């Protein structure tokens, strides 16, 4: 039985997604925001203790090991947080008979497909980060409880460390920037993730949920990292701020420890059909974020 004001446990308190969730869900229920000081996801017993202590009506796992390149040299840390911890959350949610919402990534795919990826496509991650996130998905699925695994892409916000904030700084500091132009995806504002998550929760609270399972949730439209940087630069220029010259380059000219998929586009139509939840275009979301 769901309470009128549900108790919601949200992990990853200081991350950009959790911060957006806190701002968006504050009036929807009693939020328990847990950061690393209160919830060490590398220790399964700590997760079980906190869930059992709070006895929430809903768990949202917004925590993740997101240092994609660093994960190549720290696979154990990545798998502890991205793979084992989600499985523990799923087990505790199933024990309580409550739903779990968990965020995953476009990096579970290898990017070789010519069209946007659907939920039916077979994952094949290129890097340790993607492998650890896929392992987390499968750990949740193995429990077979009520869950939503929401794959998203290129997340940014006004907090934390992300492409938007890095570009805003570098575009004003450097005369020229070389930006990868052959990786295509959908920049997704953390605020978009939060508002869409709220819509999903509201449908659940109203007793009208769609099917539980794995869904794609990104902003609409597509661009490259170069195109995203151009859009950020245009907003700087509109405010009369300096902006570097941007040069498009292929991924081969910007080698990184972790390989990235060239095609990160995700087809989000299943979420719209099952849950009647849709997202804004990435350019509009960027405008809303920068406001």
Angle at 129 between CA 73 and CA 286, to 5 degrees: 125
- The confidence score (pLDDT) of residue 124 equals 98
- The confidence score (pLDDT) of residue 248 equals 97
Tell me if 21 sits within 8 A of 59, measured CB to CB: no
Give the tokens for residue 290.
């920068």
Whole-number CA gyration radius for the chain: 19
Mean pLDDT of the chain: 95
Q: What is the mean pLDDT of residues 89-118?
A: 97
% residues pLDDT > 90 (the chain)? 92
Would you tell me the crossing angle of helices 163-173 and 225-238 to the nearest 10 degrees?
A: 60
pLDDT-derived band at 160, boundaries 50, 70, 90: confident
Q: Which residue has the tokens 């295509």?
A: 184
Please give the positions annotated as active site.
129
Q: What is the mean pLDDT of residues 237-247?
A: 94
H runs (alpha helix) in the chain: 16-25, 44-54, 75-79, 85-96, 128-143, 163-173, 190-205, 225-238, 269-275, 282-290
Q: What is the mean pLDDT of residues 263-290?
A: 96
pLDDT-derived band at 2, boundaries 50, 70, 90: very low
Tell me if 58 sits within 8 A of 33, measured CB to CB: no
Which candidate, 215, 216, 230, 217, places its Cα nearest to that of 286? 230
- The confidence score (pLDDT) of residue 73 equals 96
3-state class (DSSP) for residue 268: coil
pLDDT-derived band at 38, boundaries 50, 70, 90: confident
The ranges assigned to domains in the chain are: 7-156+188-219+265-280
Better-predicted residue by pLDDT, 285 or 291: 285
- The confidence score (pLDDT) of residue 233 equals 96
Tell me if 102 sits within 8 A of 12, measured CB to CB: no
Better-predicted residue by pLDDT, 90 or 145: 90
Tell me if 102 sits within 8 A of 86, measured CB to CB: yes
The answer on pLDDT for 190 being more than 90 is yes
Give the tokens for residue 76.
């154990």
Burial category of 119 from C-beta neighbours within 10 Å (exposed 0-12, middle 13-18, buried 19 and up): middle
Cα separation, 157 vs 164, in Å, equals 7
- The confidence score (pLDDT) of residue 250 equals 96
Cα separation, 18 vs 219, in Å, equals 18
The answer on pLDDT for 1 being more than 80 is no
Q: What is the mean pLDDT of residues 120-137?
A: 98
What CATH number has the domain spanning 7-156+188-219+265-280? 3.40.50.720
The DSSP bridge pattern shows strands 213-216 and 30-34 to be unpaired
């Amino acid at each position: 039985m769901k309470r009128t004001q549900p108790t919601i446990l949200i992990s990853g308190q200081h991350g950009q997604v959790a911060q957006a969730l806190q701002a968006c869900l504050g009036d929807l229920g009693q939020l328990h925001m847990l950061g690393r000081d209160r919830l060490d996801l590398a220790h399964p017993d700590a997760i079980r203790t906190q869930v059992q202590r709070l006895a929430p009506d809903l768990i949202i796992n917004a925590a993740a090991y997101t240092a994609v390149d660093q994960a190549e040299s720290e696979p154990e840390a990545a798998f502890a947080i991205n793979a084992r911890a989600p499985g523990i959350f799923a087990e505790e949610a199933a024990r309580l008979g409550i739903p779990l919402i968990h965020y995953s990534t476009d990096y579970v795919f290898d990017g070789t497909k010519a069209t946007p990826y659907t939920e039916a496509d077979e994952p094949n991650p290129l890097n340790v980060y993607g492998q650890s996130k896929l392992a987390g998905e499968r750990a949740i699925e193995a429990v077979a409880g009520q869950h939503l695994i929401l794959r998203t892409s290129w997340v940014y916000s006004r907090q934390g460390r992300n492409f938007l904030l890095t570009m805003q700084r570098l575009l004003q500091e450097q005369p020229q920037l070389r930006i990868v132009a052959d990786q295509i995806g959908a920049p997704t504002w953390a605020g978009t993730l939060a508002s869409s998550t709220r819509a999903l929760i509201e449908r659940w609270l109203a007793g009208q949920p769609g099917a539980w399972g794995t869904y794609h949730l990104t902003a609409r439209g597509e661009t490259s990292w170069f195109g995203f940087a151009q859009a950020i630069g245009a907003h700087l220029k509109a405010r009369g701020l300096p902006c570097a010259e941007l040069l498009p380059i292929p991924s081969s000219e910007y080698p990184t420890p972790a390989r990235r998929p060239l095609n990160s586009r995700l087809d989000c139509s299943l979420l719209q059909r099952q849950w009647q939840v849709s997202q804004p275009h990435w350019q509009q979301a960027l405008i809303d974020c920068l406001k």
